[in-house]
Amino acid sequence: MTPEHRTILERIGSSAVAVRVAADAVPAGREREVPGDGEWSPRETLIHLVAAVVLAQGLRIRRLLYERDPMFADFDEQAYRQAALAHDEPFRDLVAAVVTEHDQIVRLLAGLPDAEWARQGRHPTYGALSVERLARQVAEHAEEHAAQIAAAAERLH
């Protein structure tokens, strides 16, 4: 495995830890509170993150591992987020879903030959998406939202 691919896998793992640490800092019972105008609550941020990593990035990575040149459907994240908010999934279960999916992606990609990281599918909006690009997105997206949850937790104390 190239050092670059190893670094991506390490970031996927560390970003999951960052999400868990940030979520643990949210004061108990305040997960649904919006820290400021136009912002998301920590729970809403986690719902968004679960949708992205499980239903978009993780699914697309899996399809790239088992299919040739798949066409990826667009994903209505906003509709999913609204439905998930009404579903009332517990905050800790959302955290566990993110961490578990990150762990699964690391396991799936850990033995992937370097040449296979270039496998691509197509998305109607984003164009060509490779395993490598999606794996980077998993880490970057979780890092971004871990920081968002951490900032919200600080403001909710």
Is residue 99 within 8 A of residue 19, CB to CB? The reply is yes
Q: What's the structural domain count of the chain?
A: 1
Query: Residue 74's domain spans which residues?
Result: 3-156
Whole-angstrom distance, CA of residue 154 vs CA of residue 10: 26
- Packed helices 131-156 and 3-24: angle between N→C axes, nearest 10 degrees: 20
**CATH number assigned to the domain comprising residue 49:** 1.20.120.450
- Annotate 72-139 with DSSP letters as a single string: PPP--HHHHHHHHHHHT--HHHHHHHHHHHHHHHHHHHHT--GGGGG-EEEETTTEEEEHHHHHHHHH
Instruction: Kindly report the number of other CB atoms within 10 A of residue 105's CB atom.
Output: 25
pLDDT in tens, 8-19: 999 999 999 999
Indicate the range of 77-81, 99-103, 112-116, 139-143 predicted with least confidence.
77-81
Whole-angstrom distance, CA of residue 151 vs CA of residue 142: 14
Whether residue 116 has pLDDT greater than 90 = yes
Q: What is the average pLDDT score of the chain?
A: 94
Indicate the range of 58-72, 79-93, 128-142 predicted with least confidence.
79-93
Is residue 57 within 8 A of residue 141, CB to CB? The reply is yes
Whether residue 86 has pLDDT greater than 90 = no
52: CB partners within 8 A, 6+ apart: 77, 141
Whether residue 119 has pLDDT greater than 90 = yes
Q: Note the pTM of the prediction, 2 decimals.
A: 0.93
pLDDT of residue 110: 97
Report the C-alpha dihedral over residues 45, 50, 56, 61, rounded to 10 degrees. Answer: 130
**Between these two residues, 81 and 16, which has the higher pLDDT value?**
16
Per-residue pLDDT band for 30 (boundaries 50, 70, 90) equals: very high
pLDDT in tens, 56-77: 999 999 999 999 999 998 888 8
Indicate the range of 79-93, 102-116, 126-140, 142-156 predicted with least confidence.
79-93
